[in-house]
Amino acid sequence: MIGEAVILLGCVLTLLAGIGVLRFDDVFERMHALTKASAAGLILVLIGAALLLPSINDVTTLALAAFLQVLTLPVAANLIASATYRAKDVPLRIDTVDELRDDEERSLEPGDRGPE
């Protein structure tokens, strides 16, 4: 019963990630919604499945799947974000603070060996 409730909660979090990806109006906001909400939802689903499945073999497989997802999902989001930032055809709506641009400008100054 508790496991099924945890699974349903994780599925609702995944649905919230889907709604966020559908409704937000910028690539970075969509990536933000997907990465955080769906990682939490997947962890909850796998915890609920580990509570309900009897075999210890299944539980270790679920733990490894959750660990790999937590390890790879932020890296993938970071790769998409930097690639989107550097792509030419995507309009950037960054108004006030752009730390990546400031960093790259500072590292491109002559006589400078990159950011300290």
Query: Which residue ranges make up the site for other proteins (CB under 8 A)?
Result: 3-5, 7-8, 10-12, 14-15, 17-19, 21-22, 27, 30-31, 34, 38-39, 41-42, 45-46, 48-49, 52-53, 55, 57-58, 61-62, 64-65, 68-69, 72-73, 75-76, 79-80, 82-84, 86-90
Q: What is the dihedral of CA 80, 81, 87, 88, to 10 degrees?
A: 140
Return the number of the residue (12 or 114) whose C-beta is nearest other proteins: 12
Tokens of 91: 């309009």
Return the number of the residue (75 or 97) whose C-beta is nearest other proteins: 75
- Buried b / exposed e along 28-67 (16+ C-beta atoms within 10 A): bebbbbbbbbbbbbbbbbbbbbbbeeeeeeeeeebeeebe
Closest separation in Å from C-beta 84 to other proteins: 4
Return d(Cα 43, Cα 94) in angstroms, integer: 32
Return the number of the residue (76 or 94) whose C-beta is nearest other proteins: 76
First to last CA, the chain: 54
Return the number of the residue (51 or 111) whose C-beta is nearest other proteins: 51
| Residues in the chain, total | 116
Closest separation in Å from C-beta 115 to other proteins: 21
Closest separation in Å from C-beta 28 to other proteins: 9
